[in-house]
Amino acid sequence: MRLSRRSFLKSVPATIAAATLPTPAHSSGVFTELATTYQPLFGSGVGRDRAIEYTSDTLPSWHVVYAEDKRDSLETWIDNRDSRSVLSEHEPTRTATIVASPADVGAGTLDRLRGQGLGGMSWIEAIDLNVQMGLVEPITRLDDRDDTDELLSVDRFERTLLRIQDAGVPSPQGVAFAEEAPETTPAQVRRLLGFDYVSVDDSTVTIAVIDSGCNTVDGDVFGNTDRILPASKNFVSGGTVESEGLGVLGDPNGHGSFVASQIAANPSDNTFQGIASNCDLLICRALGDDGSGSTRDIIDAVTYAADHDADVICMSLGSPIYSAALDRALAYAVGAGSIPVVAVGNDRQATRWVASPASSEWAIGVGALTAEDPDDAQSAYFSNIGPQPGTTDLSNGETADARPDVGAPGMEMRALVGRTTGSTREQVLSGTSMAAPIVAGTVGLLIASDSAYRGDLNAIRDRLESHSIALPNVAQNETGAGMINAEALLTGSETDGQADSMTDEAALRNEAYAALSNNQGGLLTQLF
């Protein structure tokens, strides 16, 4: 079980936390450097955190979380200077996106301790920069990232890291590279994960997809476009399906279309049938054509999905930098009865640790595996791992000990995807983006099969932990509870625990990840 970061923070005096942990993400100088220079190695980044959303006056925008009954105090502060303004607000979570200068905001730890700027106000709980997040960028062809350059090959790089025995890093056995990943159709996934052995009416479930949109192409992918709810919205342009038609969800990027197909496709060819092929879809386009989008739009999409009764929220997007405002939005969604399911990231060779918001205690984080029987399954070499130190993401320990909750196939996945032209194509992608929708659909089936699980994140997480399939060759810090399995999950069949099932090589790798996390500051979050 992961530690409760929220409980940890409540138990730590603020002055001790500030003294022992790095400057948080809302320290403008540190964050600006990270946001503008972060370049994911080998094109495998968890998100395009290279830009901050600025206004026409070149002032940055910020997410502000204020204390209860202090909305008037924020309004007074905003009105005190013409250069300050509110871009958007969600009062139930007490979160506002504002425009102000870094000097006015004074958001760093020292500013808070000195009582300076907005960040020094006693009624301000958190401040983040409104940065650009991005989709968990899929890998189009694994071969493209293999042996193209002897010095920079990801395959060679990762294998070298895992084979340095003298440094205490164990064998790579159990970590899958390009040549070890079989191409897999949705039908093969359904058979492998036990979906063919259960029958659930999933038409009672609504799954929200927060991504780059969805090309619905009449009924060629989803069977019936009435399943795309009228409330589906484009947060980039502001229109809804009800007001502008299905075209408002257009997805030139294609990423959201792939994710939605994995969840809910119901075409005439059942080879490409999704996990929850009769569910309703609430499409929330929060990412632009290039796959990036402001945290503000993502937060708005999360709260919107919750307010429109989404049972599950699928998010194949993220960032190496923690956002307190997005965490607050996820908490609101869970409180409203929605279950967020989030990809952990494709950046094990660089940022390495579970990305945000998968690292939130209010989300189920999903890692990527090969689509093989449990005894042979391996962790995808790009799939981010735990335990998150809670320091390298500038979260001040809030994400400490986060790891994937569960794993699902995410290498060489084939799906039927709609194009903006109105035609369809078969596409093959790899990434934790491809694993998350499988888990999102499965959680939807669990809710449909037993209404007691509707809106209960802890119960669903416990069910996943106790009824996923153990993978001997995979480290627990790579896959959490193991591989999701619909038959075991829905019928309650007994399964072995992942922690007790690892081979010696997997156990050593698990220990190596924990040691690395501690060396990067994770131990501090446990000691104080």
Q: Please, how many CA atoms are within 13 Å of residue 526, restricted to the half-sphere of its CB?
A: 16
Contact at 8 Å (CB) between 413 and 434? yes
Q: Which residues pair with 234 in a beta bridge?
A: 285
Contact at 8 Å (CB) between 46 and 59? no
Residues 234 and 284: their CA atoms lie apart, in Å, by: 6
Contact at 8 Å (CB) between 140 and 412? no
Q: Which residues are catalytic?
A: 211, 255, 433
- How many separate helices (H) and strands (E) can be counted in the chain? 18, 18
Residues 224 and 209: their CA atoms lie apart, in Å, by: 17
What secondary structure letter does DSSP report for 412? S
Q: Please, how many CA atoms are within 13 Å of residue 356, restricted to the half-sphere of its CB?
A: 32
* DSSP annotation string for 231-254: T-EETTT--BHHHH-GGGG--SS-
Q: Which residues pair with 240 in a beta bridge?
A: 233
* DSSP annotation string for 335-356: HTT-EEEEE--S-TTTT-BPPB
| The pair of three-digit structure tokens given for residue 431, joined into one six-digit string | 């990434």
Q: Which of 486, 506, 508 is nearest to 495 (CA)?
A: 486
Q: Which of 416, 413, 371 is nearest to 273 (CA)?
A: 416
Angle at 383 between CA 379 and CA 385, to 5 degrees: 90
Q: What does each C-alpha distance from 504 to 171, 184, 192, 507 come to in angstroms?
A: 10, 29, 25, 5
Q: What does each C-alpha distance from 161 to 249, 381, 509 come to in angstroms?
A: 42, 11, 11
Residues 337 and 342: their CA atoms lie apart, in Å, by: 16
